[in-house]
Chain A
Amino acid sequence: MTDLDAVIHAPARLRVVATLATLDPADEITFPKLQQVLGMTAGNLSTHLRKLEDAGYVRVSKAHAGRKPVTYLALTSQGRRAFEDYTEALTGLLKGAGA
């Protein structure tokens, strides 16, 4: 398989990125809400988020709701572009496979 972004091309991370891509580019989602949508354990999700953050695809910001710390997550513009490129490459691969 050629040219598929290895950071995104793993089932769990693909699901994380696909979910974040459904948000408005200016919006962020809390860690617990993302965890609920994905049905992943907190540890598993953290591991994948760290890889995505290291690649510059995910932005993590901390805030406080009252006294409780809240972690917000969103795709960076680089991450959004990478996801679009990945989807395009995938579609191209599937179309090309028939030829």
Chain B
Amino acid sequence: MTDTPDGNDGRHPAPDAFSAADSLRILREQQDRARSALVPDGRLLCLLWGVAWLAGYLVLWTSARGTEGIPSGPAFVIFGGLLAAAIVITIVHSARRTGGTRGAGQRAGVLWGFTWCLAFLAYPFIIGGIARAGASDDVIGLVANGLACMIVGIMYLTGSACFADDGLYVLGAWIVLTGGVATSVGMPGTYLVMALLGGGGFLVITLVLQVIHLRRRRRADTGLEAAAVRQGPGDD
């Protein structure tokens, strides 16, 4: 890493160990590398949740259409399995990247993680409570789904405030609105709305994040090339 990259044809070796253009390139490359080692990848997480929601809710919807509006047991098992897999991968991926750091940002992250657990700990008690109070299967299904959307959406919105991450805000807003639309549509259409608007929405956000990522990288590359040409000895 200490040898001088021959960005200037080798005709005019730089007086310093390396030129300003090399220096800026090393700086950018290293920061890219550091981010991909320390910060969870939003594209990966969005893709993961997009596939889980799209496939899982389509299974629920298909099954509910065949059996008088209520999905079958196996359909719920497949749905639960997909969500559980997405949760495990999210936790492992985030823990791997954020492990080995500590501080206020890290502390906020841990508290935020606990809040997720608390919310979903209380969740089944609320659903159980309305079931015991005599709610029909349709009502239980609607509340279970709508409440989950509100928890997940609002958690992302608070996460965006915690970590100054605009991407999380878009994600949270989208989930809260999807929950509202899906609940007002009614069963079993709720599941189709969740699959298409929710799962499909995640996939669209993945695509947008990828385009932004590529565009940013291209802009940085062309900026560096132009800088290298301007700096090059052949320019005068």
Taking beta carbons and an 8 Å cutoff, which residues of A are in contact with B?
1, 4, 9-12, 14-15, 18-19, 21-24, 26-30, 32-34, 36-38, 72, 74, 87, 90-91, 93-95, 97-98
Main SS of the interface on chain B? helix
B1 touches A11 (CB 8 A): yes
Main SS of the interface on chain A? helix
Give the Cβ gap from A62 to chain B, nearest Cβ, in Å: 13
Interface status of B234 (Cβ within 8 A of chain A)? no
B101 touches A90 (CB 8 A): no
Per the bound structure, the CA–CA distance linking A93 and B31 in Å amounts to 20
A94 touches B230 (CB 8 A): yes
* Closest chain B residue, CB of each to CB of A27: B103
Which of B22-45 touch A at CB < 8 Å?
23-24, 26-27, 30-31, 33-35, 37-39
Residues of A within 8 A of B101 (CB): 23, 27-30, 33
Contact of B38 among A37, A74, A94 (CB under 8 A): A37
Contact of A14 among B15, B23, B33, B106 (CB under 8 A): B23
Taking beta carbons and an 8 Å cutoff, which residues of B are in contact with A?
1-2, 14-21, 23-24, 26-27, 30-31, 33-35, 37-39, 99-106, 227, 230-231, 235
A27 touches B31 (CB 8 A): no
A91 touches B24 (CB 8 A): yes
Per the bound structure, the CA–CA distance linking A37 and B99 in Å amounts to 12
Residues of A within 8 A of B16 (CB): 1, 4, 9
Residues of B within 8 A of A30 (CB): 100-102
A22 touches B24 (CB 8 A): no
Contact of B20 among A19, A38, A90 (CB under 8 A): A90
Residues of B within 8 A of A72 (CB): 102
B33 touches A37 (CB 8 A): yes
Per the bound structure, the CA–CA distance linking A29 and B103 in Å amounts to 9
10 residue pairs A–B, Cβ–Cβ below 8 Å: A4-B20, A4-B23, A11-B1, A18-B26, A18-B27, A26-B104, A29-B101, A36-B100, A90-B20, A94-B227
B231 touches A11 (CB 8 A): no
